[in-house]
């Protein structure tokens, strides 16, 4: 990667991290306000009812990667970007109508027939559901626009829109202090209006800055079929991921009720705040992975896969380790009234998230090639197994945390499948990837966790001062473990050079 590309990648990543830090800080306050204003029951209702739509709306992230893949590929060899955008928009509008049909038939029937929701909150739950359905439809049609911004690497604008969204959501939560009517219904309506505002901002910016975003009906049926097939396999993968994660909320609800859903919602947000750093790093590096493959720069392509897998793991590790031993105290300070099961949920989901970081660049590499049928089919089948396995364990009387251990085992299995398939698909050097990336990263994590737990046992967390000392010391020890064990001499040189470049540009 040349100096210009390194400089651009550093700038893009830094911009996204600023957004992430701001979002995480505001997001924690938002959750605290929601829990206090809605109460545990309504907070759980909002999470579990929203999950029904997340089953459909979660497709957005996967479909976004597919759209980015085609746009980045065309940019990589100077192809017809406007035709790709118009075809993508047409496909996503069709998907939005499919969401509407499924949500207003099967989804609505399931909500009113099987969900474990208190009778006096069913009307509110239906209002939440309807607002969420239309939010999901709007979000689906927005994918080509947000994907175009990322493909062109306009990360400052992408981050700014994200910050606006976070501020609006925080403001919406604060409005609940002044609402005397049903707060759950009002909050759902506010969230829908925020999604509508996001749509107007994204579309307005793209129409002004990117000529290809002016829709023109394309008659290229071959491109339509190719993109539809690609999106179809991505949808299969996305549905599998949903079954591996989000549908479990419904299973837990059927066995344990909305209080457990509140705990799962907190654990999901905690994990989202940490994994968001990795997601933003991947957003910055994904266009380069696809473009290097399109330009037939295969050496750079494989180097980016290796480096992004390793650094994604370490980015997650430097936040997971300090939280691991102090999560109980952190939750009490943050929420005061912590729902049952939250502590255990957080710890196991952190481990799953760490392992999953290795998979993110592997999925991008498969998308870059475009031949994803075998890759998505194998991974999807593996992830779908989470549903029957979790149900069996709960039916046998195991506690709610059992589903998280099932998820952890599925995450490990899926990673092994991805590595195996990419050996033939992109000629991934499996022994090198496993030894230099996976084993080395896990060894670093073992040392970091051991040192952090030792500090925790020596210092303790009886008061806020000791808690801060433990968190800071754990963070420093984790960074030192990464620096001395996790990365090699060449990578240390690249990081030092990158930091010098960044400070020099300022």
pLDDT of residue 494: 66
Name residues whose C-beta falls within 8 Å of residue 459's C-beta, 6 or more positions apart in sequence: 466, 469, 470, 473
pLDDT in tens, 325-349: 888 888 888 777 788 888 888 898 8
pLDDT in tens, 121-137: 889 889 988 998 888 88
The mean pLDDT value for 7-35 works out to: 65
Half-sphere exposure for 451 (CA within 13 Å, toward CB): 21
Label residue 449 by pLDDT band (50, 70, 90).
very high
Whether this prediction's pTM lies above 0.95 is answered by no
Name residues whose C-beta falls within 8 Å of residue 211's C-beta, 6 or more positions apart in sequence: 82
Examine the pLDDT at 240 and tell me if it is beyond 60.
Answer: yes
Instruction: Find, among 353, 410, 421, the residue nearest to 382 by Cα.
Output: 410
Label residue 500 by pLDDT band (50, 70, 90).
low
Label residue 425 by pLDDT band (50, 70, 90).
confident
Dist. CA 26–CA 170, nearest whole Å: 7
Examine the pLDDT at 439 and tell me if it is beyond 90.
Answer: yes
- Number of Cβ within 10 Å of residue 397's Cβ equals 8
Q: What residues does each domain of the chain span?
A: 3-505
Comparing 28 with 180, the larger pLDDT belongs to 180
Half-sphere exposure for 111 (CA within 13 Å, toward CB): 29
Dist. CA 471–CA 502, nearest whole Å: 27
With 0-12 CB in 10 A as exposed, 13-18 as middle and 19+ as buried, what is 164?
A: middle
Residue with tokens 């010098």: 500
Q: At what angle do helices 155-175 and 122-151 cross, to 10 degrees?
A: 160
Q: What are phi and psi of 482, to 5 degrees?
A: -65, -45
Dist. CA 391–CA 252, nearest whole Å: 9
Average pLDDT, the chain: 81
pLDDT in tens, 44-75: 787 777 665 555 555 666 666 667 777 777 76
Instruction: Find, among 220, 243, 207, 285, the residue nearest to 84 by Cα.
Output: 220
């Amino acid at each position: 990667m040349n100096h210009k590309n390194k400089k651009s990648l550093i700038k893009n990543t830094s911009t996204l991290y600023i957004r992430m830090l701001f979002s995480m800080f505001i997001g924690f306050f938002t959750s605290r306000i929601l829990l206090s204003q809605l109460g545990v029951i309504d907070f759980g209702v909002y999470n579990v009812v929203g999950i029904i739509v997340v089953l459909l709306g979660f497709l957005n992230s996967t479909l976004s990667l597919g759209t980015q893949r085609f746009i980045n590929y065309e940019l990589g060899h100077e192809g017809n970007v406007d035709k790709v955008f118009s075809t993508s928009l047409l496909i996503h509008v069709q998907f939005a109508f499919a969401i509407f049909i499924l949500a207003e038939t099967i989804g609505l029937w399931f909500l009113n027939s099987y969900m474990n929701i208190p009778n006096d909150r069913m009307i509110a739950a239906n209002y939440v559901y309807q607002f969420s359905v239309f939010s999901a439809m709007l979000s689906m049609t927005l994918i080509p626009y947000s994907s175009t911004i990322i493909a062109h690497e306009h990360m400052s604008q992408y981050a700014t829109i994200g910050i606006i969204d976070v501020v609006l959501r925080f403001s919406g939560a604060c409005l609940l202090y002044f609402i005397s009517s049903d707060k759950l219904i009002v909050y759902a309506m506010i969230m829908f209006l925020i999604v509508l505002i996001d749509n107007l901002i994204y579309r307005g910016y793209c129409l002004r800055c990117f000529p290809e975003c002016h829709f023109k009906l394309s008659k290229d049926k071959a491109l339509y079929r190719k993109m539809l097939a690609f999106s179809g396999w991505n949808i299969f993968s996305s549905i599998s991921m949903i079954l591996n994660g989000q549908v479990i909320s419904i299973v837990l609800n059927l066995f344990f009720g909305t209080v457990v859903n509140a705990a799962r919602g907190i654990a999901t947000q905690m994990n989202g705040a940490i994994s968001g750093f990795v997601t933003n790093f991947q957003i910055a590096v994904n266009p380069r992975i696809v473009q290097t493959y399109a330009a037939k720069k295969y050496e750079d392509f494989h180097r980016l896969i290796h480096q992004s897998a390793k650094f994604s793991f370490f980015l997650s590790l430097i936040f997971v380790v300090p939280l691991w031993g102090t999560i109980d105290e952190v939750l009490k300070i943050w929420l005061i009234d912590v729902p049952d099961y939250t502590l255990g949920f957080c710890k196991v989901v952190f481990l799953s998230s760490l392992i999953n970081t290795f998979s993110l660049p592997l999925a991008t590499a498969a998308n870059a090639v475009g031949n994803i049928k075998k890759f998505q089919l194998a991974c999807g089948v593996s992830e779908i197994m989470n549903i029957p396995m979790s149900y069996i364990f709960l039916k046998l009387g195991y506690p709610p945390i059992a589903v998280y251990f099932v998820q952890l085992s599925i995450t490990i299995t899926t990673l092994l499948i991805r590595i195996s398939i990419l050996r033939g698909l992109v000629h991934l050097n499996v022994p090198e990837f496993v030894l230099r990336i996976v084993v080395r990263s896990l060894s670093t994590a073992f040392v970091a966790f051991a040192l952090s737990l030792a500090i925790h046992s020596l210092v303790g967390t009886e008061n806020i001062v000791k808690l801060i000392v433990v968190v800071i010391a754990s963070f420093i020890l984790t960074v030192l473990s990464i620096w001395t064990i996790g990365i090699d001499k060449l990578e240390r040189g690249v990081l030092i050079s990158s930091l010098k470049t960044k400070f020099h540009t300022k």
